[in-house]
Amino acid sequence: MAILVNKQSKIIVQGITGSEGSFHAQQCYEYGQNVVGGVTPGKGGTRVLDANLPVFNTCVEAKAATGANVSLIFVPPLFARDAILEAIDAKIELIVCITEGIPVQDMIQVQRALLGSGSRLIGPNCPGLLTPGEAKVGIMPGFIARPGRVGVISKSGTLTYEAVHQLVGVGLGQSTCVGIGGDPIIGTKMIDVLQLFQNDPDTDAIVLIGEIGGSMEIEAAHYVKESVSKPVIGFIAGQTAPPGRRMGHAGAIVSGADESAAAKKRVMASCGILVVDSPAHIGQTVADALNRVRA
């Protein structure tokens, strides 16, 4: 079992005729054979890629023709808001937006539209999702992962890949890897994914990768203490970042003491999360935690 995406997912790609969209749509199709079409206004009726996939003018048309329940978005920042809103209007269940640099004001409108819509947004500014052996929705390199029982949640794409590498190195696979994105406003937060993994009978442990700035990791830590019974292994990036300096993601800026890496690590540890000081320790720490649970 997996969360959010699996072999039965039917994926459309908004922006499939662009260079980024076409490249990654092909990669996703080759991984799981569950990309069923794409959307580019004005190019409906054409076909693209080696899989000869149909292109539609709108998400509504694409869903009606293919039964799509997942949309992967590769469009420029100034058009991303409208692409997300179009997918929401089409009642697409899961929307994954890779685009970075979307104006905050646009994301505020998206956030309002998501309320009560029945759609879930992953991202923006994220690597997407990967359920090893079943479905790839985004830009994560599928070949580094293997099917297993460890869920991964991360704000950082590259640290997601490193966590997967460390897990595979100690013989552990992943149930699903979820890159939630590092922008100030995102669609799905750490708490949301923690709940999904907690309720997934085929996930035995969870890796939680955060960074400086914001309060999401602290909120997630308190949720773990109250509601998560599975081992959670945590890492916070940006331990050497100076206060007030943005480091990498738009949301990674320390504006108060409780948002520093040290403060977040203290709170996480106090809530029962096994905090590591280096991503190189993630794999072995997860393995040790699972061995203790099974002993």
Alpha-helical regions (H) of the chain: 19-32, 59-66, 77-89, 104-114, 157-169, 190-198, 216-227, 261-270, 282-294
The residue with tokens 């009978």 is: 201
The catalytic residue among 24, 165, 222, 249 is 249
Whether omega before 124 lies within 30 degrees of 0, making that bond cis, reads: yes
- The CA distance from 234 to 236, in Å, is 7
Q: Give the contacts of 28 (CB within 8 A, at least 6 positions apart).
A: 11, 13, 35, 72, 135, 136, 137, 138
Closest alpha carbon to 219 in 184, 189, 247: 189
> Helices then strands (H, E): number in the chain?
9, 14
Task: Name beta bridge partners: 287.
Answer: none
- The CA distance from 246 to 244, in Å, is 7
Q: Please give the radius of gyration of the chain, using alpha carbons only, rounded to the nearest integer.
A: 19
Question: Is position 249 annotated as part of the catalytic site?
Answer: yes
Q: Give the contacts of 116 (CB within 8 A, at least 6 positions apart).
A: none
91: which DSSP letter?
T
- The CA distance from 207 to 181, in Å, is 15
Active site residues: 249
